[in-house]
Amino acid sequence: MRSSRGPLSYRPEPGSIPTQPGVYRFRDAKGRVIYVGKAKNLRSRLSSYFQDIGNLHQRTATMVTTAASVEWTVVNTEVEALQLEYSWIKEYDPRFNVKYRDDKSYPWLAVTVGEEFPRVMVGRGAKRKGTRYFGPYSHAWAIRETVDILLRVFPMRSCSNGVFKRSAQIGRPCLLGYIDKCSAPCVGNVSAEEHRAIVDDFCDFMGGQTRPFIRRIEKEMYAASEALDFEKAARLRDDLGAMERALEKQAVVLGDGADADVIALSEDPLEVAVQIFYVRGGRIRGQRGWVADRVDEGDTPELVQDFLLQLYAGDADTIPREILVPALPPDHETFEQLLGELRGSRVAIRVPQRGDKKTLQETVARNAMQALALHKTKRASDLTTRNRALEEIQTALELDEVPLRIECYDVSNLQGTEVVASMVVFEDGLARKSEYRRFVIKGVDGQNDVASMHEVITRRFRRLLDEQARSQAVEGDDGPMLVDPETGRPRRFAYAPGLVVVDGGPPQVAAAQRALDELGIDDIPVCGLAKRLEEVWLPVQEDPVILARSSEGLYLLQRIRDEAHRFAITHHRSRRSKTMVESVLDDVPGLGEVRRKTLLKHFGSLKKLREASVEEIATVPGIGARTATAIKDAVAVTGTNGKTGPRVSINTATGEIEES
């Protein structure tokens, strides 16, 4: 939505903008933050936006004409401006700021140092507190192979929480403990302090401190040989070979053994690809890539600045001593100061000019060029297809606008029990999983999908009206602010979809439309997709809308409907599993909720509880002999009724009840 009178309609009064450093925000007519920027001199920077539109870069002109207001915050230093800019970009996710997206999910090597007995594992996704990470790496199989080799030298725990607890209960280590690839802290072969020392050595080795370990093992090997302890010497020789094999997988690229992140960009007028090589101890320890749309007129230095801010400002643990870039960001001294404060020691940002570092950056640049070419090849067909699908939906349903945001709802139940509903969101034809929501149906008895659909639509859009009302009350004359008035965070439920899709035919569509009518909402279109013939139903039409089987619009609606169904089924199964587990023990006298959960966590699953003796059950804290006998009788009955069902267990990592 663009400002009807252009940027001059909200231009600040002459002299009202301060000349100090600060951060500014442009908002659209709905109060959403669409751009965040910083400046040494706010007056000079903001004044550049309010000139003849013809003199502005096309992307900047689009931004200022889309905006309806601008506001700013004065800070004391340029470092504070950088920090505030990062915080606002992370909080508001402005559409006109460059946002770097991972081009794939990279595997990390993680060590859970926050646990009493830390575990090494390979994983993906967001980082967690209390865990030390190495990488990311290009291939999970490569790092798993390296870990498998190093476990003979550093025999730390690598098993899951469930395996660890089970071994501790039965008093026998797992296979890794028997083949000397784990020191078996689960059965007390080493103390927590001794296991922690092994973990620290492993982390130091993975962090690049390899020579001290190699020299130490060589010294111990020669000493054992001189003492005629040839068995120990042979074992140390094999350990040394294992470390050498692990190091062979990581070629030396910087002869000075430097710790550096090497960054390169490949860009065109529309997009930019970034590649980074993580070099620790002179060896490449990991690689990662991003792709972003270019939404402002910035050249390479500005792109580097945006990337460094988003990469490091939120994760101080990853900042190296040296960052090699293709072009210095504007005010790179300020960046060095900010990153140095975050790291706790000096950080240098440099452009390599010659030697190994220049050669390595050229290699990174080639990777960035290939990544951009591959991304554009994939996106060309994908973007065209999604646009065609949305346009077909708009035409078929006679919508006023292309439905850029589509919400789909599905209801799931089992013979009227544990009735739940799902809401999935697609934006620009792609799933927006952070916006998904689940509902537990509370006001409907039995199996009534129509009434359940009416309830979930009512609850979702009543929330929409409530949040929009509260947002308007917060800002008053400045227009609606779709953020929480207490925390300032965006209200995700406050934005209306361009189309509501329900899983079902005319009854479900009518129920959804009736819910909107009762709330006084008349500007959100509704349709339903019936499974049997894949017909699209509208509230006011007796006949369905028939889309061609080859239609991209129908395919998109099917994908959205199927995703809503999958999400609802997943929620329903998890709730049904929990109910099934608890119902087995509900009638046991003297067994309340707290002791029931303690019992299940102790044994891990109903199968193991069923196999346990009365004496073993009685060892659980709070369970006496009489209660143990009643529990044994209850689980024995459920295990011999001849019926089959899902296998239920406790996820020891999360504490949640699962079925398979």
**pLDDT: is 309 or 381 the higher one?**
309
Higher-confidence residue of 548 and 315: namely: 548
pLDDT per residue as tens digits for the range 591-605: 776 777 777 777 766
In which band, very low, low, confident or very high, does the pLDDT at 606 lie, cut at 50, 70 and 90?
A: low
Average pLDDT over residues 79-105: 75
**Upper half-sphere CA count for residue 440 (Cβ side, 13 Å):** 7
- Which pLDDT score is estimated for 647? 40
Round to whole Å and give the CA distance between 467 and 329. Answer: 40
pLDDT tens digit sequence for 488-508: 555 666 678 899 999 988 999
Asked if residue 68 has pLDDT above 50, the reply is yes
Here the tokens at position 387 are: 């646009």
Could you tell me the pTM of the whole model? 0.49
Here the tokens at position 234 are 């042979």
pLDDT exceeds 70 at position 462: yes
Average pLDDT, the chain: 79
Element (H, E) at 630: helix 625-639
Identify the band that residue 575 occupies on the pLDDT scale cut at 50, 70 and 90.
Answer: low
Q: In angstroms, rounded to a whole number, what is the distance separating the alpha carbons of residues 47 and 13?
A: 11
Distances (CA, A) of 613 to 169, 502, 639: 14, 50, 14
Q: Given pLDDT bands bounded at 50, 70 and 90, which one contains residue 516?
A: very high
Using only the alpha carbons of the chain, give its radius of gyration.
30
Tens-place pLDDT, residues 147-195:
887 887 888 999 888 889 889 889 888 888 888 889 899 988 899 999 9
Distance CA 479, CA 481 (A): 6
Long-range contacts of 640-645 (CB under 8 A, 24+ apart): 645/580
Statement: residue 320 has pLDDT above 80: yes
Residue 568: predicted pLDDT = 82
Higher pLDDT, 172 or 379: 172
pLDDT(423) > 70: yes
Collapsing DSSP to helix, strand or coil, 214 comes out as helix
Under the banding of pLDDT at 50, 70 and 90, the label for residue 512 is very high
Confirm if 511 and 537 have CB atoms less than 8 A apart. no
Tokens describing residue 255: 């002869």
> In the prediction, which pLDDT does 654 show?
36
Residue 341 has pLDDT above 70, yes or no: yes
